[in-house]
């Protein structure tokens, strides 16, 4: 730390084009910005950090908070916070603030594009040509859009966007959300959505109740030829069971943008599973979303540094 620095703002490993906003904020308040190059550097910087800005590429565990004696706030870039032990943060008296809503349209359109591509069996057709084959029986089991039954799990900002997108092309949409009883689409039970949909689109948080929600048993009960889309949180789906269901043909396709462990390991079974569209946690990205996300995080740091109440607290 420089001699006249008031404190340190620690930034977790990231993939942002730059940290110009964060550097400007630190300079404005006379703080040092410490961008960690990796998880080891991030953990090493925790004891001196007054503010921690965390991305999906680092974790804050119960073992970390006791050393964070200077920390005034943890700011999570984005809406998911399953990489933060919130209970431990609360016990340590450290508020945790998230940045929701900066990429709802981007994530929803990613899920929608995946769902339509899979329902129309585009990956199967593409693979057939690349394998020097032709049409065969591809697509004979595909419902027309006006009869496509879509199940949306989770009716927050993104889930609502997805539901409206499917409605706009004429699909039949139903949804499940444990906290929503009335909506612009028919609300029904969890099992009903999972077992009676052609497309199941996941938009739920990851917690003890939702971990491995889509298990091997659930996949077996799903409609033969159904497709699954997860742009929400890794860990909602038993990925090995999903790979097996794709290989057997019971599940006709899967679109996955978030994984239980990232980056995806070289031997992960989904890498070789058929009819899978896999993207590296980029559903939130666009030509506007990165700036909006960083602006939101910087705004929350400013609140913390000026002693104002933090917004979007999760504890």
Q: What is the Rg, in whole angstroms, of the alpha carbon atoms belonging to the chain?
A: 21
Catalytic residue check, 15: no
Task: Give dist(CA 59, CA 43) in Å, integer.
Answer: 9
The residue annotated as part of the active site, out of 72, 110, 172, 233, is 233
Query: Measured between alpha carbons, how far is 62 from 121 in angstroms, rounded to an integer?
Result: 44
| Secondary structure element (H or E) that encloses residue 10, with its range | strand 8-11
Q: Say if residues 269 and 240 touch (Cβ distance below 8 Å).
A: yes
| Burial grade of 75 (CB within 10 A; 0-12, 13-18, 19 or more) | buried
Q: What angle do CA 102, 207, 244 make, to 5 degrees?
A: 100
Residue 75 CB contacts under 8 Å (≥ 6 apart), including other chains = 51, 52, 53, 54, 97, 99, 297, 300, 301, 304
Quote the distance between the C-alpha of residue 197 and its chain's center.
22
Residue 268 is among the residues annotated as catalytic for this protein: no
**Residue 127 burial by CB count (10 A; 0-12/13-18/19+): exposed, middle or buried?**
middle
Q: Which two tokens stand for residue 214?
A: 């889509």
Catalytic residue among 121, 172, 281, 300: 281
- The span from the CA of 267 to the CA of 145, in Å, is 36
Out of 262, 271, 288, 302, pick the active-site residue.
262
Phi, psi angles (nearest 5°) of residue 170: 95, 5
Q: Determine the Cα–Cα distance for residues 312 and 86; give it in Å rounded to an integer.
A: 14
48 catalytic? Reply is no
Both tokens assigned to 166: 């499917």
Indicate the angle between helix axes 104-119 and 157-168, nearest 10 degrees.
Answer: 40
Q: Point out the residues that are catalytic.
A: 233, 262, 281
């Amino acid at each position: 730390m420089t001699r006249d620095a008031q404190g340190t703002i620690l930034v977790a490993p990231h993939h942002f084009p730059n940290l110009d906003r964060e550097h400007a904020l630190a300079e404005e308040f006379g703080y040092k910005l410490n961008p960690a190059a990796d998880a080891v550097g991030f953990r090493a910087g925790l004891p001196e950090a007054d503010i921690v800005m965390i991305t999906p590429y680092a974790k804050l565990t119960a073992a970390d908070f006791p050393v964070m004696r200077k920390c005034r706030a943890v700011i999570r870039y984005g809406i998911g916070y399953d990489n933060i032990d919130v209970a431990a943060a609360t016990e340590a008296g450290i508020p945790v603030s998230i940045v929701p809503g900066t990429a709802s349209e981007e994530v929803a359109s990613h899920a929608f594009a995946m769902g339509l591509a899979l329902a129309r069996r585009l990956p199967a057709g593409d693979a057939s040509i690349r394998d020097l084959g032709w049409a065969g029986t591809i697509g004979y089991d595909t419902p027309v859009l006006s009869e496509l039954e879509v199940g949306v799990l989770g009716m927050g900002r993104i889930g609502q966007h997805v539901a409206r997108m499917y409605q706009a092309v004429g699909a039949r949409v139903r949804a499940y959300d444990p906290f929503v009883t009335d909506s612009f689409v028919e609300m029904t039970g969890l099992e009903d959505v999972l077992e009676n949909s052609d497309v199941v689109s996941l938009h739920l948080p990851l917690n003890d109740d939702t971990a491995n929600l889509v298990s091997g048993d659930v996949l077996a009960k799903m409609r033969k030829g159904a497709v699954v889309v997860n742009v929400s949180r890794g860990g909602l789906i038993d990925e090995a069971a999903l790979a097996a269901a794709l290989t057997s043909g019971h599940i006709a396709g899967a679109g996955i943008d978030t994984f239980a462990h990232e980056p995806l390991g070289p031997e992960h079974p989904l890498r070789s599973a058929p009819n899978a569209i896999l993207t590296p946690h980029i559903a939130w990205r666009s030509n506007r979303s990165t700036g909006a996300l960083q602006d939101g995080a910087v705004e929350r740091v400013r609140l913390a540094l000026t002693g104002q109440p933090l917004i979007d607290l999760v504890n």
